[in-house]
Amino acid sequence: MNLTNNWCSPIFMGLNQAPITVMIENYRSGLIWNLFMSHPDVRAEIKK
């Protein structure tokens, strides 16, 4: 979108939809949370 030139792109991009699918999978199986928590740096920071 460019208000100066009165232009709006005809292409629609659903950039906000990708995080939704990740959140659904995390709710469904806990996969994302488990992968995140298995990282050594994350575990070290939690211990601190």
- Hey, what are 47's tokens? 């211990």
DSSP, collapsed to helix, strand or coil, labels residue 2 as strand
The pLDDT, as a whole number, for residue 32 is: 94
Per residue in 1-48, pLDDT (tens digit) is 788 999 888 877 677 777 888 999 999 999 999 999 999 999 999 999
Tokens 């709710």, located at residue: 27
The pLDDT, as a whole number, for residue 13 is: 66
The pLDDT, as a whole number, for residue 20 is: 87
- Do 15 and 23 meet the contact criterion of CB atoms below 8 Å apart? no
Q: Give the count of alpha carbons within 13 A of 2, CB side only.
A: 5
